[in-house]
């Protein structure tokens, strides 16, 4: 049994059919990349896994238990955490207050010391308000806020978008260390090279359909798929 099993989900926005029989699996301690062009259905997939969008059909199982159709807070309690593209940190609260607020209802919360070991820059900025952080620092805080809850799976939606190359390199290294420590990660990212550098397996989605499911090595060796669906 996989940690996360998604079987033929179909998701809609109103009358618009966005995901078509999307199936995927995520194993424990694995990093999986979900790749595709803009509008392919990547973010909708993450939002469906998190319960923000309810699939009209299909199943989503976490550790064998069905979670599709449950509200986001219930899915979060079961162990899935989404870091949205918009970050959504509390700008009026400082770094530590953002972290403490996120951890209140988490039974297996990380201690603050572990967060600061993972993100030393946040330790330096612990008393700074969210609005005073740089884009890279805000992204670190958004990821840290999810990690402090001790999730079974963390969903990263475009974590490297709009960041300077040095910050991207730093965040990639953080993701690698988290994977080495056993953190399961699903990453959606337009930076295909960066995503493939940290992932074990990849799915490619196009117009709401999964068109590739396999290892990153095999994807790199498939120039037709890379060019046709990813523009690489």
- pLDDT tens-digit series, residues 170-219: 999 999 999 999 999 999 998 999 999 999 999 999 999 999 999 999 99
**Could you tell me if 30 and 184 are in contact, meaning their C-beta atoms sit under 8 angstroms apart?**
yes
Q: How far is CA 202 from CA 33, 57, 109, 189, 214, in A?
A: 5, 23, 29, 11, 6
- The answer on pLDDT for 107 being more than 90 is no
| pLDDT band at residue 105 using 50, 70 and 90 as cut-offs | confident
More confident residue, 155 or 232: 155
Give residue-wise pLDDT tens across range 208-231. Answer: 999 999 999 999 999 999 999 998
First to last CA, the chain: 34
Over residues 100-121, mean pLDDT:
90
CATH 3.40.50.300 is held by the domain 1-79+154-232: yes
Burial of 10 (0-12, 13-18, 19+ CB in 10 A): middle
Residue ranges covered by each domain of the chain: 1-79+154-232, 85-151
- The answer on pLDDT for 74 being more than 90 is yes
Instruction: Supply the mean pLDDT for the chain.
Output: 94
């Amino acid at each position: 049994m996989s940690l996360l099993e998604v079987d033929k989900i179909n998701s809609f926005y109103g009358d618009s059919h966005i995901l078509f029989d999307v199936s995927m699996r995520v194993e424990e301690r694995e990093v999986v990349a979900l790749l595709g062009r803009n509008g392919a259905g990547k973010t909708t997939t993450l939002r469906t896994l998190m319960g923000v969008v309810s699939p009209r059909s299909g199943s989503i199982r976490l550790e064998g238990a069905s979670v599709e159709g449950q509200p986001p807070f219930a899915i979060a309690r079961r162990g899935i955490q989404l870091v949205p593209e918009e970050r959504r940190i509390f700008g009026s609260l400082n770094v530590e207050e953002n972290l403490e607020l996120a951890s209140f209802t988490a039974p297996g919360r990380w201690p603050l010391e572990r967060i600061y070991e993972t993100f030393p820059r946040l330790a330096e900025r612990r008393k700074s308000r969210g609005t005073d952080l740089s884009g890279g620092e805000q992204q670190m805080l958004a990821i840290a806020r999810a990690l402090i809850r001790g999730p079974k799976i963390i969903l990263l939606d475009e974590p490297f978008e709009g960041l300077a190359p040095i910050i991207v390199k730093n965040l990639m290294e953080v993701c690698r260390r988290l994977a080495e420590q056993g953190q399961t990660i699903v990453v959606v990212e337009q930076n295909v090279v960066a995503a493939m550098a940290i992932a074990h397996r990849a799915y490619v989605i196009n117009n709401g359909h999964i068109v590739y499911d396999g290892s990153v090595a095999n994807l790199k060796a498939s120039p037709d798929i890379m060019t046709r669906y990813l523009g690489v």
